[in-house]
Amino acid sequence: MPSSILSKYILCSFSNYFAKIFDFFPACSLVSFQNGDFELGTTSGWTVGGGSRTSLSSSEILPDYFLPGGRLYNYTIEHSSIVTNGSDPILGDLMPGIVEGGQYSFRVEDLVNGGYASVIGRQINSYYCLDIYFSWLAVLQNGNHSSNQSSLVIVQLEDITTGEKLILRRYDAGATGSGIDNRFRQKDNYFYTPAWQSEHLAIDNTRFGHDFILTVFAGDCQPTGHVGYIYLDSFSGLSP
């Protein structure tokens, strides 16, 4: 067993131990997040989809529309990909390496414009651990459009037992810059995150055993001339 995996196992065993002491809940398990870091080099365990977003303004978009069974899902649109470490092809050294941990991460959508959108989702059921972590890195091309017509990324972590969105980030490349916040910087006509954005949900005992779903969306601009994409890595019960 590689030492990094071994140390994570030991850490998780520790947190299991304390969870048992304090709440007598079943042990949390790495199995919940198997391939949450994409280190199988595949999307095993995840659900991926895509489609055209040109019929919708950004405010009308829900990520679920582009997952299998969704109203805009098109199985021929496969723009997303597992990626290996290296620089972002557009922003280069302005962004960190496009893999946060290990050898692989996942890029939602691609670097070609065309009015498309893509999504990846992962559900974990009956979750008894104390934390959920994941990290993302986004690029939005400013096409000098309104927010509603611009490229778009959405990151959401939902407690589907209660229907609450516990983490919700929604950014667009609207021309005024009002669709981003201080997580982003600008280079030419690109908004980008200069560091991996580490998300952490601390789960209190009112949520033990609930089902959660992580959904990450990226879409080109509606007029089709500009790109949006987002990298995802390190979905785990343990800090990256």
Judged by the rule CB under 5 A, the positions of this chain that interact with Ca ion are 37-38, 101-102, 104-105, 233
- Based on CB atoms, which residue is closest to Ca ion, 104 or 171? 104
To Ca ion, the closest distance from the beta carbon of 174 in angstroms equals: 31
To Ca ion, the closest distance from the beta carbon of 36 in angstroms equals: 9
- Based on CB atoms, which residue is closest to Ca ion, 104 or 196? 104
- Based on CB atoms, which residue is closest to Ca ion, 42 or 126? 42
Compute CA distances 188 → 90, 185, 230, whole Å. 11, 10, 18
Count of CB atoms situated within 10 Å of the CB of 3: 7
Closest CA to 193 of 82, 95, 55: 95
To Ca ion, the closest distance from the beta carbon of 198 in angstroms equals: 13
To Ca ion, the closest distance from the beta carbon of 34 in angstroms equals: 13
Compute CA distances 158 → 13, 22, 112, 165, whole Å. 26, 25, 30, 4
Phi, psi (deg, nearest 5) at residue 19: -60, -40
- Based on CB atoms, which residue is closest to Ca ion, 52 or 105? 105
Count of CB atoms situated within 10 Å of the CB of 162: 12
Helix (H, G, I), strand (E, B) or coil at 32: helix
- Based on CB atoms, which residue is closest to Ca ion, 105 or 150? 105
Compute CA distances 154 → 5, 124, 169, 173, whole Å. 30, 19, 6, 12
To Ca ion, the closest distance from the beta carbon of 2 in angstroms equals: 14
